[in-house]
């Protein structure tokens, strides 16, 4: 199969973007980042892309009257760059159907919780507030809901005594980097299969052929082995 042609959307520091760039450079991910697009200027993620020689573009959402207009401009930029898959790597904007219809079942997001628990903003603090003992991260396809799209993979992370929001977020982030690369690698290998909704208006379902579904626990922020051993849910249904 040809490499994945990725457009990566960011709004900040771009640490998940860096994980993608590093994995490609190391030969662990068969992909090309065609464009890094930010809705905010002067963020660290843009500098990361520039150091890697990846084209960048800033499209400020405040310059547009509504979300659809912004999304249409983003779609044009990504298509012009040759991106056929989109990764949301800390992109702090909800996407409209204008964007999602342009890349059907080809927009991937990484979220810092075990969805469907704790969707939306500040999932780490939500986990602490609810007193859960295990949280984690989820790679999923994006649909029109808030973190409701089909789940591709998950990694579990324990909530430790004495954790605050920053400590928990840092430990989850280690697993985000590994899990995102693993999920993108499965997609690049042609494993992703999309089944249509069972009923009109329902959600599509995603499976990753040949991927085990055991959910492993990453102890103290370290996976049980290398990237391929991160706790993973491969054959998963809808994320809500």
DSSP calls for 154-215: EEEEEPPTT--HHHHHHHHHHHHHHHHHHHHHHHHTT-EEEE--SSTT---EEEETT-----
Q: What is the secondary structure of 78-96 as a DSSP string?
A: HHHHT--EEEESS--S---
Residue from 28, 61, 105, 111 carrying the catalytic annotation: 111
Please say whether the beta carbons of 10 and 17 come within 8 A: yes
Bridge partners (DSSP) listed for residue 205:
195
Whether 140 is a known active-site residue: answer: no
List the catalytic residues.
111
């Amino acid at each position: 199969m040809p490499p994945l042609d990725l457009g990566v959307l960011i709004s900040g520091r771009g640490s998940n973007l860096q994980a993608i760039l590093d994995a490609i450079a190391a030969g662990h991910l068969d992909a090309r980042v065609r464009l890094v697009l930010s809705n905010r200027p002067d963020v660290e993620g843009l500098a990361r892309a520039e150091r890697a020689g990846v084209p960048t573009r800033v499209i400020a959402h405040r310059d547009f009257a509504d979300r659809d207009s912004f999304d249409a401009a983003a779609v044009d930029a990504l298509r012009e760059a040759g991106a056929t898959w989109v990764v949301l790597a800390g992109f702090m904007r909800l996407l409209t159907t204008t964007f999602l219809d342009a890349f059907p079942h080809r927009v991937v997001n990484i979220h810092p919780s075990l969805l469907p628990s704790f969707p939306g903003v500040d999932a780490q603090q939500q986990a602490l507030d609810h007193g859960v003992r295990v949280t984690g991260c989820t790679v999923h396809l994006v649909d029109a809901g808030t973190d409701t799209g089909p789940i591709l993979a998950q990694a579990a992370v324990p909530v430790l005594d004495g954790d605050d929001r920053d400590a928990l977020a840092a430990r989850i982030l280690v697993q985000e980097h590994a899990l995102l690369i693993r999920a993108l690698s499965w997609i690049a290998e042609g494993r992703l299969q999309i089944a249509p909704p069972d009923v009109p208006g329902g959600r599509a379902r995603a499976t990753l052929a040949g991927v085990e579904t055991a959910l492993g626990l990453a102890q103290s922020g370290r996976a049980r082995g290398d990237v391929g051993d991160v706790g993973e849910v491969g054959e998963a249904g809808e994320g809500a």
